[in-house]
Amino acid sequence: MVITLSGVTGSGKSFLKKKIQEKLSLNNQIIYTTRPIRKGEKEGIDKFFVTEQEFDKLEKNKKIMLTFQFLGYRYGYATEQIKSNKDSVIELHYTIIYQLKKETDNVFSIYIVPNDLNIAKQNLKDRKLEKKQENLRLQEIEEQAKEFEKNKKLQKQFDYILRNNYDEQSIEELINIIKERVLKK
């Protein structure tokens, strides 16, 4: 089963993904991207950082799927991992959920809603991106939050919506939902 985590920038996807992996020993699915590596990220652990030419080759050879662009960079998921029957967790851009669910029914999708958007915005600011990128991402947080709140069709694509308080209780709620609904523990 592929467990997907979606939500606005700063909603806690990466943090929660790491907690899920630690507590439930799930495989990590790593996205390919053409964006530059950020301080603190690790090649092959956080993402696979590739050139435009490498991305084109991966796409042509069907090694990646569910490709999309976000803020000028390209992203794609490893076909082998998406199609695998192994339990794994992946961060998924919310706009790809429709496409993913057409490709496979082996998905449990979770949307993370920050109870306080100001925390999500601060999390983004803590990344210390260049000002132009930061402003684009802050705008994206507002737009995506509004889109998700009003779009009932989009909400229905997700199997569970986690209201994240950025605390241990939110982590435990997420772990328990995955145990109960996915892993049947």
pLDDT band at 127 (very low <50, low <70, confident <90, very high): confident
> 38 pLDDT exceeds 80?
yes
> 184 pLDDT exceeds 90?
no
Counting runs of H as helices and runs of E as strands, what totals does the chain give? Answer: 8, 9
Report helix, strand or coil for 36: coil
This prediction has a pTM of 0.86
DSSP character string of 40-97: T--BTTTEEE--HHHHHHHHHTTSEEEEEEETTEEEEEEHHHHH--S-EEEE--GGGH
**Burial (CB count within 10 angstroms: exposed 0-12, middle 13-18, buried 19+), residue 124:** buried
Highest mean pLDDT (candidates 94-98, 104-108, 169-173, 181-185): 169-173
Structure confidence by residue, pLDDT tens digits, 53-102:
999 999 999 999 999 998 889 999 999 988 888 899 999 888 889 999 99
Phi, psi (degrees; rounded to nearest 5) at 82:
-65, -40
pLDDT band at 105 (very low <50, low <70, confident <90, very high): confident
Tokens of 1: 């089963």
> 48 pLDDT exceeds 90?
yes
Domains of the chain: 2-183 (3.40.50.300)
